Amino acid sequence: MIKERLKIFRDKIEKENIKIEGFLVTNLKNLYYLSGFDGEGIALITKDENYLLTDSRYTEQAQKESPDFKIITEEPNHKNARIEALDKIIKKKKIKKIAFESNTLSYTDYLKYFHSFKSIEFLPTNNLIEQIRMIKDKEEITIIKKAAQITTETLKEVFEMIKPGIRELDIATELSYTMRKKGAQKEAFDFIIVSGERSSLVHGKPSERKIIENELIIIDMGANYQNYNSDITRTIILGKENEKQKEIFSIVLEAQEKALEFLKPGIKCKEVDFIARNIIEKKGYGKYFGHSLGHGVGLDIHELPRVSFNDETILLPGMVITIEPGIYLPETGGVRIEDSVLITEEGYEILTWFPKILNL
């Protein structure tokens, strides 16, 4: 798969007519994607060779994980070891122009490269590799499906122990522990677990607040498995819902279902966003749905495409996105329902299969 990804990467550079002799990869997720190396370092990719620069802590690991790259171990105890290693490659390959990831390279590091290689022209690029990463290959899809399975099974198991009196933090702890028992490396992100009036906090952190009957509870969680992520949100109530809670839950559920029914290759992300947003707006809650409908999921929990009102990206088979409409009423509470979804040749496949039922 690494050889194929490198080919796609080089083809994209050629297709977009980017005239360079080298591409500097500094984003660690992109480095992993193109090399298989899960450590710290950078890569310099030329037209015919791939170089991975790291320090002695990772040399053995890099050699095992990245057979398609020449591993360069930076000299220990040298203040400018990385610059020195790059300089040798640049001179050897007679490089005059290097592209870099402008959205992830820090200004400090840019100045360091710029002043160290004054004869080199540095060309900024934006999300070049991230655009390639939007389409998952078979290996990635298999791993993401496993992450979604761990997530869903964990949520099912932990839901059964939720009862009045436990804290939001207790739920978060159980989710993390159970998830790891099932094979997850770590959390995909900091879990969002909010209840009662706090459930209107879109990105609220779990607190010591205790769960109370008849209140909304939002649980937004995901597993990271072999570096890939999954994402799911469910909203529940312990006890009996009131009319307002029932109303906003039914609206959010309808918005998600209609957006899912609309999903298929060839449509634009903004069109999907419109389907869900239009339903919520017509019910009078448009101003209480302030975020985009969804986002890409993969090596990053939030990556391209952005399923938002202004995203012109056309959905294609192999993309993994979330569909997560919500309504958040200050001082009252909120509802969000989210699934991770794979775009297929025929339409879509929901990867997070947990039921969407308000009453637990």
Q: Where are the domains of the chain?
A: 2-132, 138-350
pLDDT at 76: 85
Q: Is cis: bond before 164, omega within 30 of 0? A: no
Q: Is 253 within 8 Å of 296 (Cβ atoms)?
A: no
- Give me 14's structure tokens: 């050629």
- Give me 350's structure tokens: 């929901």
- Angstrom distances, CA of residue 200 to CA of 101, 235, 266, 307, 334: 36, 11, 34, 21, 4
pLDDT at 238: 93
HEC readout, the chain: CHHHHHHHHHHHHHHCCCCCCEEEECCHHHHHHHHCCCCCCEEEEECCCEEEEECCCCHHHHHHHCCCCEEEECCCCCCCHHHHHHHHHHHHHCCCEEEEECCCCCHHHHHHHHHHCCCCEEEEECCHHHHHHCCCCHHHHHHHHHHHHHHHHHHHHHHCCCCCCCEHHHHHHHHHHHHHHCCCCEECCCCEEEEHHHHHCCCCCCCCCECCCCCEEEEEECEEECCEECCEEEEEECCCCCHHHHHHHHHHHHHHHHHHHHCCCCCEHHHHHHHHHHHHHHCCCHHHCCCCCEEECCCCCCEEEEECCCCCCECCCCCEEEECCEEEECCCEEEECEEEEEECCCCEEECCCCCCCCEC
Average pLDDT of every residue of the chain: 96
Rg from Cα positions in the chain: 23
Distance CA 223, CA 184 (A): 6
Domain 138-350: give its CATH architecture. Alpha-Beta Complex (3.90)
- Angstrom distances, CA of residue 5 to CA of 2, 139, 230, 353: 5, 12, 22, 30
pLDDT at 79: 81
CATH for 2-132 (3.40.350.10, 3.40.50.300, 2.30.36.70, 3.90.45.10) = 3.40.350.10
Residues of the chain below pLDDT 70? 360
pTM: 0.95
Going by C-alpha positions, the residue among 75, 1, 55, 56 that lies closest to residue 32 is 1
